[in-house]
Amino acid sequence: PSAGQAQTPSPGAPVPGIHQDLNTLVRQQLDVLANQTIAWQGEAWPGTPMEWEVQRDPYGGDPESAAPAWATRLKLDLPRLGLVDARLNLSGDQLVLQVVAPLAAGEISTSSDELRARLLAAGLTLSHLAVHVADPRPVLDPDLA
């Protein structure tokens, strides 16, 4: 590399100056910084599996605004509502929410005014809400791609 450029160690290689026991953690943190994305899988509470992904949204937000735009996806399998897959895009105080809930789409739609009021009380404006029984985005067959 030329002067002034840092050389990125190859994956799995020790990071110079970092204790070997911390290598994995430091690599994960560097990956989050480089990709502006973090993903987590586990249990929201005992018996409730959850997947959560957060990323800086490079396509969202107003280019004139200094407010960063974020996209997050939260997927939960709730005891009463069943599978709930929520995708949120946040720019400043504006929130766009898309929910896929095969068993509870009607109930979530019915409660949308209460959700909107609670978000407003928290300083967020729900500018768009879409609730679906099935994912409206078509799934591509990998054999056709």
- The answer to whether the CB of 101 falls within 8 A of the CB of 115 is no
Instruction: Please give the Cα distance from 58 to 10 (Å, whole number).
Output: 26
Q: Are residues 111 and 69 in the same domain?
A: yes
* Residue 144, in any domain of the structure: no
Can you give the pLDDT at residue 129? 95
Q: Do 94 and 128 fall into the same domain?
A: yes
What residues make up the domain containing 12? 1-35
State the pLDDT at residue 112. Answer: 94
Q: Is residue 24 part of a domain?
A: yes
- Looking at residue 116, what is its pLDDT? 95
Domain co-membership, 57 together with 80:
yes
Output the pTM of the full model: 0.66
Same structural domain, 55 and 116? yes
Output the tens digit of pLDDT for each of the chain's 145 residues: 445 455 555 656 666 777 777 777 777 677 766 666 788 889 988 988 999 888 886 665 555 666 678 889 999 999 889 999 999 999 888 999 999 999 999 999 999 999 999 999 999 999 999 999 998 776 665 555 4
- Buried-exposed string 59-91: b where 16+ CB fall within 10 A, e elsewhere: ebbeeeeeeebbbeebbbeeeeeeebbbbbbbb
Total domains, the chain: 2
Supply the pLDDT for residue 40.
83
Tell me, what's the pLDDT at 117? 96
Q: Hey, what are 133's tokens? A: 């029984």
